[in-house]
Amino acid sequence: MRWQDVDYEQEEAGWSRAEKALANPRKWDTETFTWSGPGFLEKVKLGERVLMSTKEDKHNVLVSPPGRVLAIRRYRVKNVKKAVVYVEVAKNRRRRGLASFLKSLRPTEKAFGNPRRTKRLHNPELLYTLGKVFA
């Protein structure tokens, strides 16, 4: 989804709250993404672990290491619910291509579901496996 001017304004307005929630600025960085529509926004909570997938172009999807939700700034644009989600991610971890990521997940791939969506992480076994994948 392309960011609009209002998304950038909302991101800037919520940045200070997210920075205050950052555990250790030397080890952790803050990343943001926008979400529109129902579903994910009603379920996600502060402190939850999420995994972000970013579609770079038609054929390239990158998966970010798991991050912790620091803050959520909710707003409406023309009757559409939207939010900017601020996520704490480790500074020394790199994103991985979708194909190599899925290959690393072989035994727990079914529990993961659709890899092209940002998702909440609850399964401890999956979190442990993801920690090894991005180590």
Domain ranges of the chain: 5-133
- What's the Rg (C-alpha) of the chain? 15
H-only helix segments in the chain:
5-21, 40-43, 98-104, 109-112, 124-133
Give, for 26, the enclosing helix (H) or strand (E). Answer: none
Specify the pLDDT at position 70. 93
Instruction: Please enumerate in sequence order all residues whose Cβ is within 8 A of that of 68, keeping only pairs 6 or more positions apart, or say none.
Output: 47, 48, 49, 50, 87, 88
Q: What are phi and psi of 8, to 5 degrees?
A: -65, -40
Task: Report helix, strand or coil for 51.
Answer: strand
Sites in the chain below the pLDDT cut of 50: none
Specify the pLDDT at position 86. 94
Specify the pLDDT at position 123. 72
